[in-house]
Amino acid sequence: MTKALNIAIITVSDTRDESNDTSGLYLAKAVDAAGHTIADKQIVKDDIYQLRAIVSKYIADDTVHVIISTGGTGFMSRDSTPEAITPLFDKKVDGFGELFRQISYDEIGTSTIQSRVFAGLANQTLIFCLPGSTSACQTGWSIIQPQLDANNKPCNFVTMLSAKKS
């Protein structure tokens, strides 16, 4: 990795707090271990408008390169991360969800069809939205991490993210 990126981590949950947010903690440790900087880390209620407001703030912040959220991607009545975030996208990263579900199939079988994991770009900010389980965050990070490494070939997101943001 030749460039450290600033990454915001959001846990979307009505029940988690800092004492039991294992997914957010895992992502923070993984981001740090990869040599990136944690721009912010917070827990947000599973509410479309609160989540959209937080993500919009990060998208508008020129110092935040990447946002990773965990939670709110399932089919329960309060799961609203896709509805909150996708309207903010300039472009979707369709391959992320496709690859995640392919890998996840080997881990959890057909239950992976209930995962609405997704990613996209907004104002040159890369956004990844993962399920709430720690194991799903581990799977997601295994896909995300190489794409945040400037040495990954044949392509990665680093140059594009660095073009606007410092």
pLDDT tens column, 104-132: 999 999 999 999 999 999 999 999 999 99
Give residue 76's Cα distance to chain centre.
19
Q: What gap in Å lies between CA 132 and CA 125, rounded to an integer? A: 21
**Residues with Cβ < 8 Å from 33, sequence gap 6 or more?**
none
Radius of gyration over alpha carbons of the chain, in Å?
A: 15
Beta strand ranges found along the chain (DSSP E): 6-12, 37-44, 66-70, 91-92, 118-122, 125-130
The CA distance from 58 to 9, in Å, is 10
Token readout for 44 is 């947000």
Q: For residue 83, which amino acid is it?
A: E
- How far is the C-alpha of 132 from the C-alpha of 15, rounded, in Å? 11
Neighbours of 39 (CB within 10 A): 18
pLDDT score of 23: 96
Asked whether 43 and 16 are in contact (CB, 8 A), the reply is yes
**Domains by residue range for the chain, with CATH:** 6-164 (3.40.980.10)
- Cis ω before 131 (30° cut-off from 0): no
Contact in structure between 73 and 116 (CB atoms under 8 Å): yes
With a cut of 70, list the residues of the chain below it in pLDDT. Answer: 1-2, 162-166
